[in-house]
């Protein structure tokens, strides 16, 4: 449970850093790419064995990391587009409700049994994510932009499911740091290629503030994934439990951080979501 708690902590702090990006005028896209470079470097440093670069492409999980790296960049850009066109609340709900996909995958592929109380807990988790994320009284989504939140939902779910599958079948526990490093490295290369193409139109250089923001984000990002992988190895928690507790706890904790650090207003619906989150975590974790 300590690994899962640390994953929730680092993941929640990522939202705090994103909030600070807006305050200090950090160029988000550049910071994201720097973050992936830093996260990959941290993973390489923490890997205890000698790293032979030519051996990495021979690892059974290597192709999976390339796909994940591309997905990380694509889903981030989809989230940004969804936030701009449909609102932050819609993007948040689409991202966190994606926990349904790895849960269903675990049931179908690994024959994981949930039980009545755990099933109720997961249902309450979906409701909790919705109520905790809603910031406006009414969220109206036009038909022509509905495709964006749907793609965010699917993309986020595929990322979580892919991480679970690779961890379960191809990645030895001692290679978690290296695996995480290569995933982030793949995302960094994808981002650099994107920036390279974009720079033909407009050239710009990231500021020191942007670089520092990217470094801080990279450290948090790496450990959020690293401890999630460790949590998935827990003998008493199946993947449905891990992803449910992780996603719901992140919504709950990041909401509370918003109140404490940024004096954000929490509506009755938000408090209802936090309450449901506590109940759902209790049901999933202890039953």
Contact 135, 266 (CB under 8 A): no
Within 10 A of 116 (CB to CB), how many other CB atoms are there? 9
Judged by phi (left if over 0) then psi (alpha if -120 to 50, else beta), residue 165 lies in: alpha
Domain-wise residue ranges, the chain: 2-286
pTM of the model: 0.79
CB 78, CB 148: distance < 8 Å: yes
Q: Render each residue's pLDDT in the chain as its tens digit; 287 residues.
A: 789 999 999 988 887 888 788 788 888 888 888 999 999 999 888 888 888 888 899 999 999 999 999 998 888 778 767 765 665 555 666 777 777 788 788 888 877 777 788 788 878 877 877 776 665 555 454 555 568 778 888 898 899 899 888 878 888 888 888 898 999 999 999 988 888 887 776 667 788 999 999 999 999 989 998 898 888 887 777 777 888 888 788 877 877 888 888 887 777 887 887 788 788 877 876 66
Nearest to 175 by CA among 47, 18, 36, 3: 47
């Amino acid at each position: 449970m300590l690994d899962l708690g640390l994953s929730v902590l680092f993941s929640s702090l990522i939202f705090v850093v994103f909030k600070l990006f807006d305050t200090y005028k950090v160029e988000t896209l550049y910071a994201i790419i720097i973050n992936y470079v830093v996260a990959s470097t941290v993973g390489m440093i923490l890997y205890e064995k000698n790293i032979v670069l030519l051996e990495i492409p021979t690892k059974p999980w290597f192709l999976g990391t390339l796909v994940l790296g591309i997905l990380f960049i694509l889903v981030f850009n989809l989230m940004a587009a969804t936030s701009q066109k449909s609102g932050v609340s819609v993007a948040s709900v689409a991202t966190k409700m994606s926990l349904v996909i790895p849960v269903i995958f675990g049931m179908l592929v690994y024959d994981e049994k949930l039980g009545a109380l755990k099933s109720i807990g997961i249902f309450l988790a979906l409701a909790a994510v919705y109520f905790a994320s809603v910031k406006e009284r009414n969220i109206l989504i036009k038909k022509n932009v509905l495709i964006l939140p749907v793609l965010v939902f699917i993309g986020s779910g595929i990322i979580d499911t892919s991480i679970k599958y690779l961890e379960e079948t191809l990645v030895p526990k001692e290679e978690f740091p290296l695996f995480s490093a290569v995933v982030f490295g793949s995302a960094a290369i994808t981002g650099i290629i994107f920036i390279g193409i974009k720079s033909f139109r407009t050239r710009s250089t990231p500021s020191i503030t942007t670089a520092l923001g990217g470094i801080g984000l990279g450290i948090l990002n790496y450990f959020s994934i690293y401890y999630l992988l460790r949590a998935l190895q827990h003998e008493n928690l199946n993947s449905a439990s891990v992803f449910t507790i992780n996603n719901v706890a992140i919504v709950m904790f990041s909401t509370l951080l918003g109140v404490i650090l940024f004096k954000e207003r929490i509506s009755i619906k938000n408090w209802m979501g936090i309450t449901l989150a506590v109940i759902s975590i209790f049901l999933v974790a202890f039953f």
